[in-house]
Chains A and B, each alone.
Chain A
Amino acid sequence: MGRRTWRLIVFLVVVLGAIIMILPFYWMVVTSVSPSPDIIAFPPKWIPSQIVWDHFKEAWERAPWLVYYKNSLVVATISVGCSMLFGLFAGYAFAVYRFPLQTPLFLLTLGTLMVPVQVTSVALYVFLAKLRWVDTYLGILAPNFASAFAVFLTRQAVQTVPVDLIDAARIDGAGEIRIVLRVVAPLIKPVLAAVAMLLFLSSWNDFLWPVIVINSEGLRTLPVGIALFKDPYGNINYGPLMAGTVISVAPMLVAYAFSQRFMIRGIALTGLK
């Protein structure tokens, strides 16, 4: 078999796989804009006979999507902001300073990765109930104020910054906080950007903890909103359900379309330890 034939076969296999991968997205969009009879037609209508917006209208009236957006955005922004700020300083401290209990404290930080919220949810809920944080923004945020992952990756990045540079800044009279924010942070910007994106994505898509801690409709994040939006539907009302799904996934998919290289590389960062 020649090199050319081989490449053609590879290309066709990869394209076929890609069609399978994209099919659920395609069918979600098609269902959301097809007239109801099209949705259950046989043979299937791959292209809608006409585009209708009724399902979107219905989905929009049935659930407060803007409230869900707002909640997801507030939670993601605060948790990413805190995790990045705290992670930057802690990562710097673990990389640059030598101090008593350094290694045990670092291992303790990393150890939290081994005990995910899936394990601690029960006791965390009981604890937050005592604080009266259940069913509040603070409750959703509680386990996400800091990220071991951000600490670890920042530490790795700071270790690549030449010590001379930090010492030079000290001789120039810069305080430590200033050095972190003005000297080190700009130098490790690509890593910080990737970590922030990763944390934002995981907060945005997080489901288990928000669904545990939130009861009020007004505090639901997007994943909680769409999961509970699905429930009252019977077997045939799939148009509005898919419209709701489009509403909930569209912002992230649009962001992905514009920055896929950055996002793929950032997410792959987790694997390149």
Chain B
Amino acid sequence: MSVWLRRAQKRHYFHAYLFIAPVLIAFGLFRVWPSLQTLYFSFFKVELVRGRLTFIWFQNFIDLARDEIFRQATVNTLIYAASIVPITAGLALVLAVLFNERFPGKELLKAVYFAPMVTSTVAAAVVWWWLYNPQFGLFNVILKLVHLPPSPWLLSSTMALPSVIIFSVWKTLGYNMVIYIAGLQAIPQEYYEAATIDGADALARFRKITLPLLAPVTAFILIYNGIFAFQVFDQVFVLTGGGPANSTNVVVLELYKQAFQRYRFGYAAAEAMVLFLFILVITVIQYRAGRRYEVSY
């Protein structure tokens, strides 16, 4: 590199740092600093009102391991994530394949499927709370219309978590469908034509062309939904508040209750570290999978 060019680049150092400064300051103060503080607090008993910090080694984590409620919240979060991710991904893929056909009103129908995505989760959950009402809610009314036994939905500890999952599938289906549709449109039509000439039927074409070529999209959908599934909060807060008997309690809700209702900030920080660990694991998986699934066409 010539001296002149180097000097020209150096001249831009000022602008470079000036331009990234606002983002770095905002993130430094309100993202990075609290992240480090969370780790720090997880080793302390934090009394905010008295302004007192007591170092207690790993006591928070030891308490966590023994905490039945937190364990249940973790299990519920895992069940939630392990159900919603494959269900939405699968349904979205089926819908995307159907949407690849030609039929009237396609854009309008796509918009209908996508509508829950732009609605606030809280407001949508309030509506579903009404739909799930055991006595007058629409779901049980419909069951009664077709002479099926009603379900207690959110009021029973076995049905509450599935009810939350059904809501979340409804909420996120459209997004995943649109991502899959975009993925399908990127597959060259010639592949299908060639396969048809070779005598492959629709199912074979789907299994041998569509699925493998959609693998990167599928990987993205699984990871993206997985990360968000671990952060689930809004719908649980509105639909059940974690009940009945903690059957729908999730990690973020439990963290919220410990910190902002019981003011156990150190303990909640330890719970936040567990949540971070989950996100970290998924991200590492994403990094590995991202490499393996790089398909070019």
Chain A interface (Cβ within 8 Å of chain B)? 6-7, 10-11, 13-15, 17-18, 21-25, 27-28, 31, 39-40, 42-44, 82, 85-87, 89-90, 92-94, 97-100, 102, 105, 108-109, 112, 114-116, 118-127, 129, 142-143, 145-146, 148, 151, 176, 180, 201, 204-205, 207-208, 211-212, 222-224, 226-227, 230, 235-236, 238, 241-242, 245, 248-249, 252-253, 256, 260-261, 263-264, 267-268, 270-273
Contacts of B48 in A (CB 8 A): 126, 129
Among A100, A122, A142, A211, contact of B255 (Cβ-Cβ < 8 Å):
A122
Interface contact B259-A121, CB-CB below 8 Å: yes
Contacts of A176 in B (CB 8 A): 12, 15, 19
10 A–B contacts from the bound complex (CB under 8 Å)? A13-B98, A44-B141, A90-B22, A93-B20, A120-B272, A123-B36, A176-B15, A204-B120, A205-B120, A208-B256
Among B12, B30, B122, contact of A207 (Cβ-Cβ < 8 Å):
B122
**Min distance, Cβ B2 to any Cβ of chain A, angstroms:** 15
**Min distance, Cβ A41 to any Cβ of chain B, angstroms:** 9
Alpha-carbon separation in the docked complex, A213 to B269 (Å):
16
Contacts of A25 in B (CB 8 A): 115, 119, 127
**Min distance, Cβ B92 to any Cβ of chain A, angstroms:** 11
Contacts of B123 in A (CB 8 A): 222-223, 226, 245, 248-249
**Min distance, Cβ A57 to any Cβ of chain B, angstroms:** 19
One digit per residue, 1 when the CB lies within 8 angstroms of any chain A CB and 0 when it does not, for chain B 65-108 equals 00000000000000000000000000000010011011110010
Interface contact B260-A212, CB-CB below 8 Å: yes
Interface contact B119-A42, CB-CB below 8 Å: no
Contacts of A248 in B (CB 8 A): 120, 123
- Asked if B38 CB lies within 8 Å of chain A CBs, one says yes
Contacts of A180 in B (CB 8 A): 19
Interface contact A99-B275, CB-CB below 8 Å: no
- Asked if B182 CB lies within 8 Å of chain A CBs, one says yes
Interface contact B231-A124, CB-CB below 8 Å: no
Interface size class of B (residues with CB under 8 A): 35 or more
Interface contact A99-B133, CB-CB below 8 Å: no
**Min distance, Cβ B18 to any Cβ of chain A, angstroms:** 8
Chain B interface (Cβ within 8 Å of chain A)? 9, 12-13, 15-17, 19-20, 22-24, 26-27, 29-38, 40-41, 46, 48, 95, 98-99, 101-104, 107, 109-124, 126-131, 133, 135-136, 138, 141-142, 144-145, 170, 173-175, 178-179, 182, 217, 220-221, 224, 231, 233-234, 237-238, 252, 255-256, 259-260, 265, 268-269, 272-273, 275-276, 279-280, 283
A24-B128, A97-B15 are known contacts. Are A124 and B34 too (CB-CB below 8 A)? Answer: yes
Contacts of A263 in B (CB 8 A): 114, 118
Q: Is the interface of A mostly helix, strand, loop or mixed?
A: helix
Interface contact B131-A27, CB-CB below 8 Å: yes
**Min distance, Cβ A90 to any Cβ of chain B, angstroms:** 4
Interface contact B24-A105, CB-CB below 8 Å: yes
Contacts of B280 in A (CB 8 A): 114
Interface contact B38-A260, CB-CB below 8 Å: no
Contacts of B20 in A (CB 8 A): 89-90, 93-94, 105
**Min distance, Cβ B286 to any Cβ of chain A, angstroms:** 10
Among A119, A208, A252, A270, contact of B279 (Cβ-Cβ < 8 Å):
A119
Q: Which 10 residue pairs are nearest across A and B when measured between Cβ atoms?
A: A123-B37, A93-B19, A271-B179, A205-B120, A120-B34, A146-B26, A89-B19, A123-B34, A97-B16, A124-B34
